[in-house]
Amino acid sequence: MRVVIADDQPDVVVHLTEIIEELEHDAVGFTDGEAFSDSISRDIFDLVILDWNIESKNGTPLFNWMCKALPKRPPVIIMTNRGQSGLLQRR
């Protein structure tokens, strides 16, 4: 399985790459949205792990672009460190 990781934090890319490779899969990492979109438009991947807040391109436009531009979009896992106060409330 080929997995592409796009996150603007290099340590996150390295950590996820190590985990995926320990599981005997191939991993390619990017810390820039432009480089990620260039690669995914010409290479084939089985899974995308996408940071919602990646530099130079936000996760939402990247995801929408993938849905429209890629003939066969791989499954996408979107990561975020966003939080919304009050989203989950205890009652």
| pLDDT tens string 29-71 | 999 888 998 999 999 999 999 998 876 667 788 888 899 999 8
Q: Give the CA radius of gyration of the chain.
A: 14
Which residues is 79 bridged to in the sheet? Answer: 51
Question: CA angle, 61 as apex, 57 and 62 as ends, to 5°?
Answer: 70
How much is the pLDDT for 52? 85
Q: 15 pLDDT band (50/70/90 cuts)?
A: very high
- The larger pLDDT score, comparing residue 86 to residue 3, is at 3
Phi, psi of 4 (to 5 degrees): -110, 135
Helix-helix angle 59-69:33-42, to 10 degrees: 10
